[in-house]
């Protein structure tokens, strides 16, 4: 299923995460079903930890991976409602949640994704989203008030 070039790219992705200071994240290979994913914990400026999980599609790097917040679960909004219940939300920079209620973070528009974007940049956007999310918790304001369109920045 995976080409030699893809497997080499994923090895380079893991090495780049480590080199760029994202050592809390790794690229993993599930040998049972020959799939890849990347995950780890991001720590916000307030010291809270958030689990981030990236599914790596079989046509990566040509297809945009999906990124989810795995912990805490459920992820709540400032008013106590589940963030995943919003589904696709421009104001909260979210896409459709996973089947088990994990919030999917919008990190790049599909049309703007290209093979030159590396996973450390996706995790960087995850960090930005988390910081904006914590501002939302503190103020009740939408994430879009704290960060511009996530797809516009590289």
The domains of the chain are located at: 4-152
Cα–Cα dist 147/145, whole Å? 6
Task: Report how far residue 28's alpha carbon sits from residue 53's, in angstroms, rounded to the nearest whole number.
Answer: 11
pLDDT at 98: 86
Write the pLDDT tens digit of every residue in 130-154: 999 999 999 999 999 988 765 444 4
> pLDDT tens digit string along 71-93?
999 999 999 999 999 999 999 99
Tell me the Cα Rg of the chain: 15
Residue found under tokens 């990566």: 60
CATH code given to domain 4-152: 3.10.110.10
Task: Give the E-state strand segments of 87-153 in sequence order.
Answer: 94-95, 103-105
State percent of the chain over pLDDT 70.
96
Looking at the whole model, is its pTM more than 0.75? yes
Render pLDDT for 1-60 as a digit per residue (tens, 0 to 9): 899 999 999 999 999 999 999 999 999 999 999 999 999 999 999 999 999 999 999 999
In angstroms, the CA 78 to CA 36 distance is 34
Task: Using the predicted structure, report yes or no on whether residue 94 has a pLDDT greater than 50.
Answer: yes
pLDDT category, 110, cuts 50, 70, 90?
A: confident
């Amino acid at each position: 299923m995976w080409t030699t070039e893809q497997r080499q790219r994923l090895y380079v992705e893991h090495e780049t995460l480590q080199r760029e200071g994202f050592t809390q994240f790794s690229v993993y290979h599930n040998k049972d079903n020959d799939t890849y994913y990347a995950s780890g914990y991001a720590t916000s400026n307030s010291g809270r930890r958030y689990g981030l999980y990236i599914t790596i599609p079989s046509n990566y790097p040509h297809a945009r991976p999906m990124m989810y917040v795995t912990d805490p679960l459920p992820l709540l909004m400032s008013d106590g409602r589940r963030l995943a219940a919003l589904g696709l939300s421009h104001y909260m920079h979210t896409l459709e949640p996973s089947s088990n209620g994990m919030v999917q973070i919008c990190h790049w528009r599909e049309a703007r994704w290209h093979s030159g974007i590396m996973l450390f940049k996706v995790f960087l956007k995850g960090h930005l989203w988390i910081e904006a999310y914590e501002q939302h918790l503190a103020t009740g304001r939408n994430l879009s008030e704290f960060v511009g369109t996530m797809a516009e920045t590289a």
